[in-house]
Amino acid sequence: MKLTLVNKKGSPESLLAEAAKDIPPSGIRKFFDIVYSTPDCISLGVGEPDFVTPWRISDTGIFAIKDGYTHYTPNRGLLQLRNLITTAIERQHGVSYSPEEEIVITMGVSQGLDIALRSIVNPGDEVIIIEPCYVSYEANIRLIGGVVVAIPTFAGENFRIDINRLKKAVTSKTKAILLNYPSNPTGSSIDSDTMAAIARIAIENNLIVFSDEIYSSIIYENEHRSIISLPGMKERTVYLNGFSKSHAMTGWRLGYVAGPQYLIDVLLKIHQYTALCAPSISQYAAIEAMQNADREVAHMRAEYTKRRNYIVSRFNEAGLPCLSPQGAFYVFPDVSPTGLHSEEFAMKLLKEQKVAVVPGGVFGACGTNHIRCSFANSMENIRTAMKRIDKFVKSL
């Protein structure tokens, strides 16, 4: 007998989760579809090192595969790696974390931040982000039902956080503040007064701070400081870092979270049930990265410094005001003197001169007059791109 099944409840599509459905697709995807189909295009759009992973690190990964270290590791990650990480944090920031209780190795900062947010944020809780900021933050918060409260910062104020604006944004629903210094996309760092003021706000209002310090090793003039080093802040900060940018290891998917035990206990449960552990091969490679690759990291930093100096001066000469980034590998020049909106600027530049840059609005509304250009590209490509940009600006 043939059964006819009748669906009276709506389409399968209607079953999609609201939060996931409501997240807008990445604002730059359409744009990059054009980039990939444009021959001879130079992309200053990519947010990853152009260097290959230092060979000694890759070689260790290959050894790990050959020697059969291809199984699950402890959920928290290899103890040797956790030991190296806590030693490095203590040396750099004077804060001690227990390798047994207060560190979890994750699949990049991306996964670390996701499970950190899920450990803290209930639906309806507010999380303050500082715009312009990394494109994933808003989606990460919204996917778990959190409410994003964005504080704008401006080039005219050196992208410094206005503390009064921040204070006003704190409500009874605020759970956390998410920081990222050095910043993607502005390259700005945070000064000690601002950091101290944020710590005060966090303590007075019982807030958590998520501190994404993924660019901490790509820092130019000043030393990198972390909010964890301020009194009372280790207890309420989730420190996030990783190997993607520092060691040109984006594809290895490895990062780590450090935090107080009460928080890591909860975070670890989410990690256990959703990921088990970070990739074993990458963890072995990261041990080599932590033990023996400081010279390679310094070499990359020196290269970025040369490129930064060049690209900043070329943008300013072209009449597009550009602050010199204190860290990371991005510049965020102001394109408003051209009279074009940044999306129009980016699209025309791509079509007429075959240079891809990211319109600043994707990092938050306050970025709309800007474009983000990554100088994680060869000096030769940067020179050619800047010649083309100069020609484009003159043609307007």
Residues that bind ligand PLP (CB under 6 A): 47, 108-110, 134, 180, 184, 212, 214, 242, 244, 250, 255
Closest distance to ligand PLP from the beta carbon of 185 (Å): 8
State which residue, 134 or 332, has the beta carbon closest to ligand PLP.
Answer: 134
Q: Residue 348 contacts by C-beta under 8 Å, 6 or more apart in sequence?
A: 340, 392
State which residue, 184 or 282, has the beta carbon closest to ligand PLP.
Answer: 184
Are the beta carbons of 238 and 263 closer than 8 angstroms?
Answer: yes
Closest distance to ligand PLP from the beta carbon of 136 (Å): 7
State which residue, 73 or 244, has the beta carbon closest to ligand PLP.
Answer: 244
Closest CB to ligand PLP belongs to which residue? 108
State which residue, 255 or 360, has the beta carbon closest to ligand PLP.
Answer: 255
Closest distance to ligand PLP from the beta carbon of 256 (Å): 9
Closest distance to ligand PLP from the beta carbon of 383 (Å): 24
State which residue, 80 or 250, has the beta carbon closest to ligand PLP.
Answer: 250
State which residue, 47 or 353, has the beta carbon closest to ligand PLP.
Answer: 47
Facing residues of 258 across strands? 103, 239
- Distance between CA atoms of 234 and 307, rounded to whole angstroms? 35
- Distance between CA atoms of 67 and 140, rounded to whole angstroms? 37
State which residue, 250 or 261, has the beta carbon closest to ligand PLP.
Answer: 250
> How many Cβ atoms sit within 10 Å of the Cβ of residue 382?
22
Closest CA to 163 of 196, 209, 206: 196
Facing residues of 241 across strands? 256
Report helix, strand or coil for 175. strand
Instruction: Give me the residue label for tokens 């990092």.
Output: 363
322, amino acid identity:
C
Q: Residue 332 contacts by C-beta under 8 Å, 6 or more apart in sequence?
A: 132, 155, 185, 186, 187, 322, 323, 325, 360, 367, 370, 371, 372, 373
Closest distance to ligand PLP from the beta carbon of 116 (Å): 12
Closest distance to ligand PLP from the beta carbon of 289 (Å): 13
Closest distance to ligand PLP from the beta carbon of 382 (Å): 19
Are the beta carbons of 263 and 120 closer than 8 angstroms?
Answer: yes
